[in-house]
């Protein structure tokens, strides 16, 4: 039984193939088109999913699209009518795409996929809930979905049991925690639907000066986590921007211009909206526990990528354990829609052991064999050294220990926004200068951005205040106190970006300014090579933690193919690239031609 799930037309379009209940393949369209957050119909991702299992469109039994386009269109029309005549410009801008494309999903699937069979349309948050519960380790659990907006719903909760999900309550548009966070993303000068994680990273540099103002003026937050937003301050219902002049006046001025210098005001705004978001998430979690009596909680939707909030739910919330869908945003809707057809629509049984999920480490994308990599390198004439399987872990561990920055390209590409040790840039977490080096010379991005650690699963509790695995880099936890350095009296007076380059622990490159880290635990079962390499680093150099950041530069999607990896390697100051068993050293490579003015290729967000 072959079921294809598709998400498209908002952001992060994706496709997923579920074969006899197993997730066989999944990928975002952006990885193939090289257009970050590509929202177009995912014909390349669909083609990959079919190719991965040697299928043709005729082999598909069902296709599931992740939401109901006509209901979403109804919401958009009703919203414009409610605010008319304001919003005419926005209306005129958005309608042609709906009329020409977004309403004709069946025709698109017939034309672009070549499939003429049954197509199912679950609701948007139903797809999120399915993506949260069905791959989770739990046979029974509560679920919480939070995002910007689906058709009408912006947050929902319910119970998943065996092969069914039961939605119990929801919050509806325009009241949206995701859109509140996005409004502050816009206001602090970052790109909507792309820069939210920058706001989260910036928050620890600020003070929560505006929390009371947000809760007093912008939203009426109840004890159970439900809320209503004061739409007098927002423009997203009818306008072309997220906020309006009343919002700007409330917070003391116009939005920061993109690329303008960050000030303490932006840091305080980021901290304030982050604190409010965490408070809403915690109240929701406590209410859901009270209402459902469940021991476990599953999360999905774009707000579930807020790993600081997730960490607080785990540490401070009432649930014994939580599980977050690694592709929590719209991309994961494709996976949820496909699993929903298998389990709920076809009533196929589901077994979970309360320990292991069925997401397979989220290594669900394309892989490239050594033969394919070698053929590419030979064809291009690029010099390399071939290592044996046994040599790779120790050689890379030695290179990390001498403060080299390495592109790591191995196995199947990750599904979701995080690099998890397949398409990663790696370095020495012990190096005080590595964060700045990698931000400015490798990633070409803002200096304040933190890096995540990869730690072998068996050692996580020796480095972080975390007593369980975190395979998908979706939990933030404090660095162990005994590894941390106490600030001097003078250093304690530093504020804003003055805090940036202070050494805070024995693993300073991954220790954020609030002594936290976004932890990825590495399993011997799901990624044996990455685990072996970090284990060798631990054995030889006494540290089970390395830096892991996504293999891309600012404005570019994570690399997919050997060609993507080589070009990214050459366009940055990376020292080495390991693809399969093939090691490339930068100083042995010929410079790329002058015709590649690569910075102009990317929209700097």
| Bond from prior residue into 85 cis (ω within 30 degrees of 0) | yes
Phi, psi (deg, nearest 5) at residue 108: -60, -45
List the one residue out of 156, 166, 174, 148 whose CA is nearest residue 12: 148
Angle at 301 between CA 299 and CA 307, to 5 degrees: 65
pLDDT of 247 reads 98
Reply yes or no on whether the pLDDT at 85 is more than 90: no
Helix (H, G, I), strand (E, B) or coil at 89: helix
Longest dimension (CA), the chain: 70
Say how many C-beta atoms besides its own lie within 10 A of residue 237's C-beta: 17
Residue 180, token pair as written in the block: 């509140």
List the one residue out of 75, 19, 22 whose CA is nearest residue 50: 19
Please report which confidence band the pLDDT of residue 453 belongs to, taking 50, 70 and 90 as the band edges.
Answer: very high
pLDDT of 117 reads 95
List the one residue out of 177, 168, 122 whose CA is nearest residue 146: 177
Give tens-digit pLDDT for 233-252. Answer: 999 988 888 999 999 999 99
Average pLDDT over residues 378-389: 97
Average pLDDT over residues 76-103: 83
pLDDT of 509 reads 94
Average pLDDT over residues 447-465: 94
Q: How many residues does the chain have?
A: 605
Alpha carbons 95 and 76: distance in angstroms, whole number: 10
User: Helices in 120-260 by DSSP H: which ranges?
Assistant: 124-133, 177-187, 196-202, 211-213, 245-250
Please report which confidence band the pLDDT of residue 428 belongs to, taking 50, 70 and 90 as the band edges.
Answer: very high
The more confident residue out of 194 and 475 is: 475
Angle at 439 between CA 435 and CA 443, to 5 degrees: 140
Q: For 510-572, what is the HEC assignment?
A: HCCCCCEEEEEEECCCCCHHHHHHHHHHHHHHCCCEEEEEECCCCCCCCCCCHHHHHHHHHCC
Helix (H, G, I), strand (E, B) or coil at 154: strand
Q: Using an 8 Å Cβ cutoff, are 160 and 137 in contact? A: no
In a domain, 124, yes or no: no
Alpha-carbon distances, residue 507 vs 50, 245, 391, 501, 517 (angstroms):
43, 44, 26, 13, 10
pLDDT of 395 reads 98
Alpha carbons 126 and 565: distance in angstroms, whole number: 36
Reply yes or no on whether the pLDDT at 20 is more than 50: yes
In a domain, 339, yes or no: no
In a domain, 478, yes or no: yes
Alpha carbons 153 and 155: distance in angstroms, whole number: 6
pLDDT of 18 reads 98
pLDDT of 593 reads 59
In a domain, 569, yes or no: yes
Phi, psi (deg, nearest 5) at residue 379: -60, -40
Reply yes or no on whether the pLDDT at 280 is more than 80: yes
Reply yes or no on whether the pLDDT at 530 is more than 50: yes
Mean pLDDT computed over every residue of the chain: 94
In a domain, 433, yes or no: yes
Average pLDDT over residues 252-271: 94
pLDDT of 114 reads 95
Alpha carbons 167 and 572: distance in angstroms, whole number: 47
pLDDT of 359 reads 98
Alpha carbons 232 and 569: distance in angstroms, whole number: 48
Alpha carbons 270 and 247: distance in angstroms, whole number: 15
Give tens-digit pLDDT for 292-311. Answer: 999 999 999 999 999 999 99
Average pLDDT over residues 145-163: 97
Give tens-digit pLDDT for 546-563. Answer: 999 999 998 899 999 999
pLDDT exceeding 70 applies to what percent of the chain? 98
Q: Using an 8 Å Cβ cutoff, are 116 and 147 in contact? A: no
Residue 125, token pair as written in the block: 């948050």
pLDDT of 605 reads 36
Helix (H, G, I), strand (E, B) or coil at 122: coil
pLDDT of 575 reads 97
Considering its fold, how many domains does the chain have in total?
1
H or E stretch covering 15: strand 14-19
Which CATH number fits the domain that encloses residue 450?
Answer: 3.90.870.20
In a domain, 50, yes or no: no
Give tens-digit pLDDT for 200-214. Answer: 999 999 999 999 999
Reply yes or no on whether the pLDDT at 118 is more than 90: yes
In a domain, 399, yes or no: yes
List the one residue out of 195, 294, 295 whose CA is nearest residue 242: 195
| Stated pTM of the model | 0.95
List the one residue out of 152, 151, 168 whose CA is nearest residue 160: 168
Reply yes or no on whether the pLDDT at 604 is more than 50: no
Helix (H, G, I), strand (E, B) or coil at 586: helix
List the one residue out of 422, 453, 420, 421 whose CA is nearest residue 435: 453
Burial 296-311 (b: 16+ CB within 10 A, else e): bbbbbbbbbbbbbbbb
In a domain, 111, yes or no: no
Reply yes or no on whether the pLDDT at 188 is more than 80: yes
Residue 331, token pair as written in the block: 């991309």
- Considering 73-77, 119-123, 595-599, the range whose residues carry the highest mean pLDDT is 119-123
State the residue range of the domain holding 447: 370-601
């Amino acid at each position: 039984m072959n079921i294809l799930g598709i998400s498209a037309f908002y952001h992060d379009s994706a496709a997923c193939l579920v074969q006899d209940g197993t997730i066989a393949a999944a990928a975002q369209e952006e990885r193939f088109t090289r257009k970050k957050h590509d929202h177009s119909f995912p014909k390349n991702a669909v083609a990959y999913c079919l190719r991965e299992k040697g299928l043709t469109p005729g082999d598909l039994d069902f296709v599931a699209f992740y939401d109901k386009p006509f209901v979403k269109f109804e919401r958009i029309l009703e919203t414009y009518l409610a605010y008319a005549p304001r919003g005419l410009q926005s209306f005129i801008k958005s309608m042609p795409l709906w009329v020409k494309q977004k309403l004709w999903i069946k025709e698109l699937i017939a034309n672009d996929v070549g499939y003429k069979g049954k197509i199912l349309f679950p609701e948007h948050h139903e797809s999120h809930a399915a993506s949260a519960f069905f791959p989770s380790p739990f046979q029974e659990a509560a679920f919480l979905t939070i995002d910007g907006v689906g058709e009408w719903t912006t947050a929902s909760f319910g119970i998943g049991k065996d092969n069914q999900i039961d939605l119990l309550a929801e919050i509806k548009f325009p009241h949206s925690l995701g859109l509140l966070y996005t409004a502050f993303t816009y206001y602090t000068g970052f790109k909507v639907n792309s820069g939210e994680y920058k706001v989260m990273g910036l928050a620890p540099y600020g003070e929560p000066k505006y929390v009371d103002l947000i809760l007093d003026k912008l939203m009426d937050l109840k004890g159970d986590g439900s809320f209503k937003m004061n739409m007098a301050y927002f423009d997203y219902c009818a306008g072309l921007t997220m906020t309006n002049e009343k919002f700007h006046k409330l917070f003391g001025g116009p939005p920061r211009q993109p690329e303008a210098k960050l000030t303490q005001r932006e840091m305080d705004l980021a901290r304030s909206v982050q604190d409010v978001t965490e408070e809403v998430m915690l109240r929701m979690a406590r209410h859901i526990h009270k209402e459902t009596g469940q021991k476990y909680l599953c999360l999905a939707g774009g707000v579930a990528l807020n790993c600081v909030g997730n960490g607080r739910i785990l540490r401070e919330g009432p649930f014994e354990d939580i599980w977050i869908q690694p592709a929590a945003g719209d991309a994961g809707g494709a996976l949820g829609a496909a699993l929903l057809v298998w389990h709920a629509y076809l009533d196929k049984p589901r077994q979970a052991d309360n320990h292991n999920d069925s997401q397979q480490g989220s290594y669900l994308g394309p892989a490239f064999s050594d033969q394919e990599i070698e053929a590419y390198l030979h064809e291009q004439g690029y010099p390399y050294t071939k290592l044996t399987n046994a040599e790779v872990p120790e050689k890379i561990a030695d290179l990390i220990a001498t403060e080299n920055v390495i592109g790591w390209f191995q196995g199947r590409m990750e599904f979701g926004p995080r690099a998890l040790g397949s398409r990663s840039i790696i370095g020495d977490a012990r190096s005080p200068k590595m964060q700045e080096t990698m931000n400015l010379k490798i990633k070409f991005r803002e200096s304040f951005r933190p890096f995540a650690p990869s730690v072998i699963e068996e050692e996580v509790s020796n480095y972080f205040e975390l007593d369980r695995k975190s395979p998908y880099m979706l939990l933030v936890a404090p660095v162990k106190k005994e590894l941390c350095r106490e600030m001097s009296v003078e250093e304690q007076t530093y504020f804003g970006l003055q805090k940036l380059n202070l050494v805070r622990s024995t693993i300073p490159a991954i220790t954020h300014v609030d002594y936290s880290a976004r932890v990825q635990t590495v399993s011997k079962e799901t990624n044996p090579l990455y685990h072996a390499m970090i284990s060798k680093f631990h054995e030889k150099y006494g540290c089970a933690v390395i830096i892991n950041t996504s293999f891309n530069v600012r404005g570019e999607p994570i690399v997919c193919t050997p060609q993507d990896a080589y070009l990214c390697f050459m366009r940055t100051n990376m020292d080495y690239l390991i693809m399969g068993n093939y090691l490339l050293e930068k100083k042995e490579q010929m410079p790329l031609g002058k015709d590649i003015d690569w910075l102009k290729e990317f929209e700097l967000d």
